[in-house]
Structure 1
Amino acid sequence: MLLENKTVLITGGSRGIGKSIAIRLAKEGANIAIVGKTTEPHPKLEGTIFTAAEEIAAAGKGNVLPLAGDVRSEESIQQVVNDTVAKFGGIDILVNNASAINLSSTEQLEPKRWDLMHGINVRGTFFMSQACIPHLKKAINPHILNLSPPLNMDPNWFSKHLAYTMSKYGMSMVILGLAEELKPHRIAANALWPATTIATAAVQNLLGGDFLIQRSRTPEIVAEAALHILKQPSFECTGNFFTDEEVLKKEGITDFSKYAVNPDQKLMPDLFL
């Protein structure tokens, strides 16, 4: 299933995995709408929605729409969806990538940090999906793809960072429910998660600095896996919790060395795996 002239809406598309997915799909000829809050340069974060749009446009046919938006706001979500449809005529694919992370323990976590994670990760994912469903129903091969982990009830993942785990599993539960709910409409709902840590701002600034970056892969591996998922017939490929390695191996790709930031370092498995 080709992505030529398909319209893809990606949340959190200013940098990292979201931007990499946008670039990869743009190369396939897709129209890209990216949503992000960063409209002005940030001292600790790379790029804005506008600089990201320039990169995406250069990679594809130039059909890119940068949208300033906050997925915690239903008014902002509806405006983003309306603007995307007005520009491109519909929505074929939704990628829920926007996410907040805080690995604090239960005693240390402030309520505003809890609210931020659940507001973006769970609430934002749910209501962005809800707003896109009427348009996805009209698409030929509609997909929803969440960047969230396989559901794993091992207490280990809850004991280390309970609030974050709840929020990311909330995103995965959205997939679990929508995959079944939307089957009559042939709308696919799948989740994708990296097998290793990925060299993003979150890893650099919050998790492990350059030490962990050197033991990570680049976001391009997740983008390549996303491409292969989104090419699948929506009525056959739904309700899955994929890892990037699993998807690429199924496509016959087994050499992942080009994705390593530092091939001389041992890779670090990602959270929840």
Structure 2
Amino acid sequence: MSYKVALVTGAAAGIGAACAKRLAGDGVAVGVLDLDEERCADTVKAIKDAGGKAIALGADVSNRASVRAAVEKCREALGPITILVNNAGVTDFTPFEELTDERWDFIFAVNMRGPFIVTQECLPDMKSAGWGRIVNISSSSAQTGAINMIPYSSSKGAMVTMTRSMAQEFGPYGITVNNIPPGSVMGTIMSEANRERFQIPTEVLQKSVPVRRLGEPDDIANACSWLCNEATGYVTGQTIGVNGGRVVT
């Protein structure tokens, strides 16, 4: 892959960090973005130690001014952004009848308004280049639903539909847009919160997955790398499930 610039949100740890490192390994310069810029230091260091290019960025993805400042900082340091991984997200375990308007709005602000804002701020670079790759990280909960996770699974379901619509609108500009809904992935903030809340033994979770293991952040990063490659220009508007067979289509 020739020299390109990627922006990965929620990249301080977990899936976002794995995607950032993998893209850097592919020869891409990476803007490592998270709510707290200081938390991005480990990801940036790992990329630089491996010989890659990266910059730490702090932004609240639901706040346009915050995103715009971070995107401009990334452009100034690395160049125009032509790869975007919308990974930042928040989860929720509130029973439906206990949900407040404020909690609902917060989940959708991060999980849906966030990708909308970040994509809109990066899109001009991709259109100018006549080339772009957008990968939205949703959730297998968007495909199956989830008890006590209605705003989360609903927001991720909306991301799947947004992906399809963006793919059709952006395709004429050489921009592909795809969606990865991860299954159970170990080592992420969300997966650990799930495990702690529901107290499900690892061996039980493993037996529920056809491939008999839980996912790793690198599993998602591998698929992300493929979708961002030059060779996948005819793949767009797709949901690429990386879940060990938990959800089949």
DSSP 3-state at the match of 1:72? coil
DSSP 3-state at the match of 1:242? coil
- Aligned-pair CA distance for 1:144: 0.6
d(CA) in 2 for partners of 1:38 and 1:106? 30
Is 1:128 the counterpart of 2:115 in the alignment?
Answer: no
Stretch deviating more after TM superposition (190-199 or 138-147): 190-199
CA 109–229 in structure 1, closer or farther in 2 if over 3 Å, else same:
same
CA 268–107 in structure 1, closer or farther in 2 if over 3 Å, else same:
farther
Is 1:58 the counterpart of 2:46 in the alignment?
Answer: no
**Aligned-partner residue type, residue 194 of structure 2:** L
Where do 1:14-53 residues align within 5 Å? 14-39=12-37, 48-53=39-44
Is 1:107 the counterpart of 2:97 in the alignment?
Answer: yes
User: 2:181 — aligned with what?
Assistant: 193
- Aligned-pair CA distance for 1:99: 0.5
RMSD of aligned C-alpha atoms?
Answer: 2.6
- Aligned-pair CA distance for 1:49: 1.0
- Aligned-pair CA distance for 1:137: 0.9
- The structure 1 segments of at least 4 consecutive aligned residues displaced by more than 6 Å after TM superposition are 150-153
d(CA) in 2 for partners of 1:30 and 1:208? 34
Task: Answer yes or no: is the 8 Å Cα contact 1:142–1:234 preserved in 2.
Answer: no
- Aligned-pair CA distance for 1:140: 5.1
In the superposition, the TM-score normalised over structure 2's length comes to 0.85
DSSP 3-state at the match of 2:23? helix
User: 1:11 — aligned with what?
Assistant: 9
Stretch deviating more after TM superposition (113-122 or 227-236): 227-236
Determine which structure has the larger helix proportion and give its number.
2
DSSP 3-state at the match of 1:53? helix
| Percent sequence identity over aligned pairs | 26
**Aligned-partner residue type, residue 16 of structure 2:** G
d(CA) in 2 for partners of 1:60 and 1:94? 21
d(CA) in 2 for partners of 1:123 and 1:98? 11
Is 1:98 the counterpart of 2:88 in the alignment?
Answer: yes
DSSP 3-state at the match of 1:237? coil
Match of 1:138 among 101, 125, 128: 128
**Aligned-partner residue type, residue 14 of structure 2:** G
CA 159–233 in structure 1, closer or farther in 2 if over 3 Å, else same:
same
Where do 1:260-271 residues align within 5 Å? 269=246
User: 1:255 — aligned with what?
Assistant: none
In the superposition, the TM-score normalised over structure 1's length comes to 0.78
- Offset from partner CA, 1:23-60 (integer Å, 9 cap, x none): 111111110001111345xxxxxxx1112211122234
**Aligned-partner residue type, residue 208 of structure 1:** R
d(CA) in 2 for partners of 1:27 and 1:152? 30
d(CA) in 1 for partners of 2:240 and 2:120? 22
d(CA) in 2 for partners of 1:243 and 1:164? 18
DSSP 3-state at the match of 1:135? helix
User: 1:208 — aligned with what?
Assistant: 195
- Aligned-pair CA distance for 1:15: 0.2
- Aligned-pair CA distance for 1:64: 0.5
Question: Number of residues paired by the alignment?
Answer: 238
**Aligned-partner residue type, residue 207 of structure 1:** N
DSSP 3-state at the match of 1:145? strand
CA 230–110 in structure 1, closer or farther in 2 if over 3 Å, else same:
same
d(CA) in 2 for partners of 1:117 and 1:239? 24
User: 1:166 — aligned with what?
Assistant: 154
- Aligned-pair CA distance for 1:234: 5.8
User: 1:230 — aligned with what?
Assistant: 228
- Aligned-pair CA distance for 1:162: 1.9
User: 2:218 — aligned with what?
Assistant: 220
**Aligned-partner residue type, residue 150 of structure 2:** L
